[in-house]
Amino acid sequence: MLPPAERMRALLEGRRPAYSLQRELYVDTELYELELEHIWGREWVFAGHGIEIPGPGDYLTLPIGHYNIIVLRGADGVVRALHNVCRHRGSMLCDQAQGSVQRRIVCPYHQWSYELDGRLARARKTDAGFEPNDHGLVQASCEMVGGMIFVSVAESPPDFAPVASLVGRYLAPFDLEHAKVAFSSTIVEDSNWKLVLENNRECYHCKGAHPELCATFPEAPLHSGGGEGDDLAALQQIVERCEAMGLPSAFTASADHQYRAMRLPLLGTARSMTHDGEPAVARRFGHLPADNIGDVLLYHYPSTWNHFVADHAVTFRMLPIGPMQTQLTTTWLVPGSAEAGVDYDVESLTSVWLATNAQDKVLVERAQRGVRSPAYRPGPYSTAEEEGVIQLIDWYATSMQGALGDGLQGAPA
């Protein structure tokens, strides 16, 4: 069999545009490893929210393929990304998805301890000549925008400034730095990460699958730049009305569609993504001048998509944990002043997306089981309904092909 990089190149060169990918790209372990290296090991990955780690020593962990990162707030208030690997003999330092360390990070193996900025603080009985300054935790790149933390494990990550500029503008009115986490859920879907993301990038399946979501969310493909007639008119209307209020709203995507921000109208008189369209929270975020401001959508490949309405936000962190397994963490944010049981009820707040996630889990796991069959053949995406999926798969293929090159380097002349 050909080496994995050559197999990947051949598959991507041979793929049919606007068709789903070949079977191997959804099931093969070696090709998945290449994706970990060239996509997940290179791009910015959404880690979580600054408000999840409010104080010094508070951390969350972020598994990115074989990497594991401690995203930790230092004594100086700065959020850093530290590789979760002890500099003695490599033990993982922090096991929990989220937690807090006291003054220092202490390795559970032989108790080397590290300052909250990663410097080695203490190591017992080291040999003469041991240099503590050479044994601090390795840092990864970390950026925060609009309260959202992004991490890249690449030595030279892509320029984050354009992402920060777009995301920062759209999120500023929500003031998420002063929001609070009302609920969080993590599930594992037995499905390749691309099938999970593909499912997110279209609403072709919504009518048949998501009665709760479809109560307020337009299934028309406005979210990927499509739509027509009344749907498009409603979009234009909310964009104009909100822009006039100083709220960024226009559909804005990077040229390669790796990230996008936009505002969508909700259906009818809905003001929130709830079962009846009424706000779930009796407060509204930050500096928002009204509550009928639709839904701000934000995605960034490969790891996140998000919804922001006036009274709450729902964010998604998607991480690959195997060729056919994906972890999805959903987090509900509410205004910082809102009190559970007084201003909102957690069940009403979370019911639409908990139901939608459960429905999507069934869909993507069923898709994975079908794609695993040797009888699977790539099928055509609908350009009217699945333009977002086409954009995603084109981005994926271009990214992988760019990383793998044409295979001629080092070849004999």
400 near ligand FES (CB under 6 A): no
Distance CA 365, CA 329 (A): 17
CB closest to Fe ion, residue no: 360
State the minimum distance, in angstroms, from the CB of residue 128 to ligand FES: 19
State the minimum distance, in angstroms, from the CB of residue 103 to ligand FES: 17
Distance CA 325, CA 320 (A): 6
106 near ligand FES (CB under 6 A): no
Distance CA 377, CA 149 (A): 38
Q: Which of residues 78-97 bind ligand FES (CB under 6 A)?
A: 86, 88-89, 91
The residue type at 353: W
101 near ligand FES (CB under 6 A): no
Instruction: Decide which of Fe ion, ligand FES, none touches 351; Cβ closer than 5 to 8 Å per partner kind.
Output: none
Asked whether the beta carbons of 299 and 308 are under 8 A apart, the reply is: no
198 near Fe ion (CB under 5 A): no
Distance CA 211, CA 198 (A): 20
State the minimum distance, in angstroms, from the CB of residue 319 to Fe ion: 18
Which residues lie closer than 8 Å to 323 by C-beta, 6 or more apart? 27, 28, 29, 31, 32, 192
Tokens representing 103?
A: 């003054």
Residue 30: other Cβ atoms inside 10 A = 14
State the minimum distance, in angstroms, from the CB of residue 202 to Fe ion: 8
Q: Which of residues 326-385 bind ligand FES (CB under 6 A)?
A: none
Which of 8, 16, 59 has its CA nearest to residue 37? 8
Instruction: Decide which of Fe ion, ligand FES, none touches 88; Cβ closer than 5 to 8 Å per partner kind.
Output: ligand FES
Question: In the Cβ-directed half-sphere of 172, how many Cα atoms lie within 13 Å?
Answer: 10
Instruction: Decide which of ligand FES, Fe ion, none touches 113; Cβ closer than 5 to 8 Å per partner kind.
Output: none
112 near ligand FES (CB under 6 A): yes
The DSSP line for 43-75 is: S-EEEEEGGGS-STTEEEEEEETTEEEEEEE-T
State the minimum distance, in angstroms, from the CB of residue 130 to ligand FES: 13
189 near Fe ion (CB under 5 A): no
Which of 331, 74, 323 has its CA nearest to residue 187? 331
Instruction: Decide which of ligand FES, Fe ion, none touches 360; Cβ closer than 5 to 8 Å per partner kind.
Output: Fe ion
The single-letter DSSP state of residue 39 is I
Instruction: Decide which of ligand FES, Fe ion, none touches 109; Cβ closer than 5 to 8 Å per partner kind.
Output: ligand FES
State the minimum distance, in angstroms, from the CB of residue 36 to ligand FES: 24
- Is the CB of 66 or the CB of 110 nearer to ligand FES? 110
Which residues lie closer than 8 Å to 286 by C-beta, 6 or more apart? 173, 174, 175, 176, 178, 335
The DSSP line for 107-141 is: -TTT--EE-TTS-EEE-TTPPTT--GGG-SPPEEE
Q: Which stretch binds Fe ion (CB under 5 A): 15-23, 63-71, 169-177, 359-367?
A: 359-367
State the minimum distance, in angstroms, from the CB of residue 194 to Fe ion: 15
109 near ligand FES (CB under 6 A): yes
State the minimum distance, in angstroms, from the CB of residue 302 to ligand FES: 31
Instruction: Decide which of ligand FES, Fe ion, none touches 141; Cβ closer than 5 to 8 Å per partner kind.
Output: none
Pairing of strands 67-73, 252-253: unpaired
Among 360, 385, 386, 387, binds Fe ion (CB under 5 A): 360
Q: What residue ranges bind Fe ion (CB under 5 A)?
A: 360
Q: What residue ranges bind ligand FES (CB under 6 A)?
A: 86, 88-89, 91, 107, 109-110, 112
